[in-house]
Amino acid sequence: MRPSQRMRDLGVVQQGAAILTEPARAFDLPTERDEAERVVDELFAAMDRIGQVHPFAKGMGLAAPQIGFACSAAVVQPQDDEPAIILLNPRITGHSDGTDEHYEGCLSFFDVRGLVPRPVKITVETTARTGETVTTVYERGLARLVHHEIDHLAGLLYTARMEAGVDPIPVELYRQTGQAWAYDQS
């Protein structure tokens, strides 16, 4: 079974669906707190299902549009059993000039991997369930994961960030490269 078919069977919306290319609706918090919490619970349940069939040693993320909700929520599970990150109405407010380029995959088209340049540090504003704005700085691999999910909420797939003339490669070829998108330690 192809990886993309496995993700489809687990409830992940696949490339070609309009919901993946449309900006997500922001929550009005705290007014829509119950709805936001329901969507976040659905995201965690989907991540649990996915994690049972595919291990993610470098962490994983999932955005609400990927499971059929057109609202601005995403969750990121970092590597090494760090606490999960909940992103409600996130927006990137700053980023480093420095970038790195590593392979990324996406649960919505899991048969390929693409080489994507991203800032090594980003500043993100989110809305807490109680309505307050929270600002957090993410670096390296975690910045890449968070940025990828925020892109989903803007209706962007990682292929939109790839350099012109560079195409995604089949997952089988990616596995043969021995490369991963874990951050460069230098």
- The residues assigned a catalytic role are 149
Q: Strand (E) positions, 17-143?
A: 60-63, 73-77, 85-88, 91-95, 99-104, 112-119, 121-127, 133-139
Spatial contact of 42 and 63, defined as CB atoms under 8 Å apart = no
H helices present in the chain, as ranges: 3-9, 33-53, 140-153, 171-177
Q: What does the alpha-carbon distance between residue 87 and residue 128 come to, in Å, rounded to a whole number? A: 9
SS3 category, 32: coil
